[in-house]
Structure 1
């Protein structure tokens, strides 16, 4: 007898499709690309900004360093905020802040507005940078795939850094200095949409933020930056500079006392007892001092001393910067054969001696000599960057990897901040661009060589002792 009820058939439930890795990595790389581009492209646009907005060299230094100041001072706080509120949410907030600030930069009618917008840009970058790495690690839980994606992510960032000056020079020549900031708008929209659409949120953690300590840290960096940048213009004994010295000293003392007594610290000071961790952070500071300080100086030198247009300066910088992504690939091939300490020592010394050859730079120095010297130094830079990150992770261990990465990034940005400010001091103090460039190259060489010494004593030698003990 047939059933009273017709048979019910169920359509097969479609399987949930996994988001392609390419979409995830694109979403998470956009923030890093914007943050990197906005450090490098402004160096080529600097001379044009000076001309169009009638800025002084001191104001131009603030335009470049103001971004790095808020970036460096807020990185540690932003990392804690991402743990507490959620990495995806903070990443999107940071992208939105960066988007609005970029539009304000492009519309800035005067140097003061541009400096203020750059400060806000740096705050946006500080929000999304730590979250970018956290989301990437969470999005690729399988170790082999995560390692592959981290390599791809690093290559994208390195390529954008290497091409940044050339792209900036082309855009400034074709569309004006404002275009380097307008470029962030479509990138930001794509990044925000793809992150919202394809990136899963990360579970939050009840992290208590050391807000008083972070505020003291910000005051300290701001006072030091003011003293370094305004010193050449106001005079090193001016009242405003004396006040900055007092504020910096008071903030440093307050932070020291607080960190000794507080439960929730700004910095994980105990990790610095490990020589590898301390060494990686010393290398990070000196490396960024040299790399970003020299890039800031070169963009201005090629245009002011050698008469290059922004586009020509961008093209002339390309042979010097294109080695970043190439050397990153080389590192992945040789890192299994040599220890990180040995690689860091060798390539920091290589970069130092290459920079040292330029302390005699003059109007008669051929361009190709400059390109080869800086290019060789930047081959070293492409090895140093992943090498010090690997050394840091080895020293900190997996349980401290996230906080260790935030400390290294903060240290590196402080190095950039001080390096750019010091180059500004040198260039402001000398009327001859070739003399200024020579002195800048000397400072860059010393930073690289000191980094090589630190890498040898704190990373390479302990590695050798550990290897001998293991045998």
Structure 2
């Protein structure tokens, strides 16, 4: 029951993300949202999610992870209700921003609560494995559930689903979740604001650049603002005695490599889901249910990869599953780059499933490396850093994919460029792991995901 309670937030987030992809055409038709608006519908949620995750980790330390977990669920529910009631594309995007804020609160808190729930390392490792399986199951069910709901009740129903789930999670957390005491930790609002602003300006550049023109005044201004805020944040982090991310984590090479891998995994998977959803609906005329059925085996492949990886990490440590997963993912993306508008849907589905299974095999090892190197003392910060990097990757993946779709009219060229970019991202992750995650880096990290 504790695992179910702490997985509810992730379950809502996973179902929400995958279901929204199946509803893109319905949202566009109902609210008159153009392509760049659809990118904002997906990325608006991811933007605030990524930008505020580290702040969510700091708040969990200052006020206790259970309280922040419940506050995050409540915020997410309010955002979901506003999404369901949205009268326009702009209102929907604003509500998605609120949803992302709630997710930024409950994500790091749930990982911290899991870490504090069990003292025995092996039992805690099994809890992490079971928790990951619950989340993977939600990701698998999400596309089908979204397609069924949209076909039967319309796109607004995918947001109404979060209302009972969120209220149940808040109630169960009060009864079942531990309540670790708050820890003194400075909440540096200016630094978090700089990070959020830099990311928001970058998102604006990538999404609006193809529409307004890359050399237009708004796009150039946003580019300058993004770079300036990023540089100010870097300077502030080096100068302060209490940086957003504990300085001890910066010096751990396997931690840095695993966090970057998380970003690149989500870059590829979210770009793929966005593109394949539009490809199915625009080229092959699939409805929400057909699109959901197409995505279903891909998310199932990721779940299978998760399960197989847990056992491999327990036996061999984290390096081998990471290298095998990211290398295979890069090869699968290169195969997908050969697709065209005339490619039968089943071929793209098979290729996507292989790619998801490959990176799914790497994800538990990546999580184990991050949480193992962070330890209990930095559990909230390490979990927030990993989730923030993954959401930044998702944001960039959808934004870059949207830019490519804007710039290139032919679907064959679109697919070649998108999947070539994904293959390059996965290859970069492979090289980072090869260099920084050594065979000796097992120990605690390997135990975290033991099955």
- Is the 8 Å Cα contact of residues 109 and 380 (structure 2) preserved in structure 1? no
Residue 450 of structure 1, aligned match among 416, 423, 428: 428
Aligned to 1:26: 4
| Deviation of the 1:300 alpha carbon | 1.3
Kindly report which structure 2 residues correspond to 1:118-129, keeping only aligned pairs within 5 A, or say none. Answer: 118-129=96-107
Q: Which moved more, 1:141-150 or 1:340-349?
A: 141-150
Report deviation, 1:49. Answer: 0.8
Shift of 1:269: 4.4
Contact 2:148 2:288 in 1 (8 A): yes
Matches within 5 A, 1:248-287: 248-287=226-265
- Alignment partner of 1:337: what SS? helix
| Paired position in structure 2 for 1:376 | 354
Report how far residue 227 of structure 1 moved.
Answer: 0.7
**Cα separation, 1, equivalents of 2:441 and 2:54:** 29
Greater CA drift, 416-425 or 317-326: 317-326
**Structure 1 residues 313-328: aligned runs within 5 Å:** 313-328=291-306
Q: Deviations over 1:141-199 (max 9, x none)?
A: 33333222211111111111122112111111111100110110111121111112322
Query: Alpha-carbon deviation of 1:459?
Result: 1.2
Name the SS for the 2:315 alignment partner. coil
Q: 2:164 aligns with which of 170, 186, 191?
A: 186
**Which residue of 1 is the match for residue 388 of structure 2?**
410
Tell me if structure 2 keeps the 8 A contact 1:53–1:109. Answer: yes
- Of 276-285 and 105-114, more deviation after overlay is shown by 276-285
Report deviation, 1:437: 2.4
> Cα RMSD between the aligned structures?
1.7
Distance 1:393 1:31 in 2: 19
Determine if contact 2:65/2:113 at 8 Å carries over to the other structure.
Answer: yes
Unmatched runs of 5 consecutive residues or more in structure 2 = 443-451
Q: Flag the structure with larger Rg.
A: 1
Q: CA deviation at 1:395?
A: 3.6
Trace 1:16-165 onto structure 2 (pairs within 5 A).
23-165=1-143
Offset of residue 460 of structure 1 = 3.9
Corresponding residue number in structure 2 for 1:211: 189
Any conservation in 1 of the 2:112–2:383 contact (CA below 8 Å)?
Answer: no
TM-score (norm 1): 0.90
Matching residue within 204, 209, 224 for 1:226: 204
Compute the TM-score of the two structures, normalised by the length of structure 2.
Answer: 0.94
Alignment length (residue pairs): 442
d(CA) in 2 for partners of 1:197, 1:34:
20
Shift of 1:461: 6.6
Q: Structure 1 pair 398/195, CA: closer, same or farther in 2 (3 Å)?
A: closer
Partner of 1:169: 147
Equivalent in the alignment of 2:344: 366
